[in-house]
Amino acid sequence: MDYHKHRFQDNSLMIFKNTQVVAVLPANKLDNTIFSHQGLTYGGLVYSEKLKMGQVLDLYKSILKYLSEKGIGKVVIKELPYIYQKFPNDDFKYIAFILKAKLLKRDALSVIDYSSAFKIASNRKEGLKKAEEHQLVLKEEYDFQGFWNLILEPNLLKKHKTAPVHSLKEIQHLKHKFPKNIRQFNVYKHDEIVAGTTIFETEHVAHCQYISANTEKNKLGSLDFLHYKLITDVFKHKAYYDFGISNENNGRQLNKGLLFWKEGFGARTVTQDVYEIETSQVNLIDEVLI
């Protein structure tokens, strides 16, 4: 989080047992609310898989009590989707229920589960035929400049009057810090870049952080070609391939065309919830274990 620390008022917490750190809550403060974390795709408490439910309850009790004493009224936490978890863990979902948390947002991720049979639709395969006709080539690049400057930034500015969450300098910095986890794949037609995607790779998941192509994407089949190659070859050893969200308006609407395209590769919906917890509800934890 260090690369964009100037954007947030850090309020991350470490929880100790005696002198040993047992959990960490990445967080920032905004007014009277703690967020975990507005600068991260996913949030929540980070702790060892050795901890059991009763111990996790104690962690949340300690955090909420501490924040309440500091005058913090609310905590907003983005749930970690199960596909990113290293072991089965719905601790937070249950604790949010106990604490009468308010559901603020529900995002819809489009995900391919490699453990289940999935079928790539005929219209996606038509894109592959176009790509073959135009002799498109897929390359992994270590420089993000071409994709950022020629494809991604112009597209976002034209379509949405916005910029990528990460600047070119920031994504290059992250690549330097995590060279094996952040990867750039570009599609070329006669050495000219026509499409690309930035992948954030974890142990079990290949996540598409950015996807973009030039105005000829439908004619060339560039995006169909790009993701077909990644899904069926580059990342076929993963447990999941995550296209990211397809929703807008705080999760209450879905981009129909974008969702249709992702589902054409066999992706299905996995949700990610954002909850608001009032620190004053901390005493409800005492009533859980009987």
- Taking only the tens place, the pLDDT of each residue in 154-164 is 999 998 899 99
Q: What is this structure's pTM? A: 0.93
Amino acid at 286: D
* DSSP-assigned states of every residue in 15-59: EEETTEEEEEE--EEETTEEEE-TTSSS-S-EE-TT--HHHHHHH
Share of the chain above pLDDT 70, in %: 98
Mean pLDDT for all residues in the chain: 95
Contacts (Cβ under 8 Å, ≥6 apart) of 273: 78, 79, 93, 96, 103, 105, 106, 107
For residues 121-137, give the mean pLDDT: 97
CA dist., res. 186 & res. 214, Å (int): 12
Task: Give the pLDDT of residue 7.
Answer: 80
* Stretch 181-194: mean pLDDT: 97
Cis peptide before 207 (omega within 30 of 0): no
Q: By the 8 A CB rule, do 220 and 84 touch? A: no
Classify 182 as helix, strand or coil: strand
- Residue pLDDT, tens place only, 5-61: 678 899 999 999 999 999 999 999 999 999 998 888 888 999 998 999 999 999 999
Instruction: Report the C-alpha gap between 270 and 150 in whole angstroms.
Output: 32
What is the predicted pLDDT for the residue at 88?
Answer: 82
**For 145-177, what is the HEC assignment?**
HHHHHHHHHHHHHHHHCCCCCCCHHHHHHHHHH
Give the C-alpha separation, 53 to 59, whole Å: 10
Residue type, 201: E
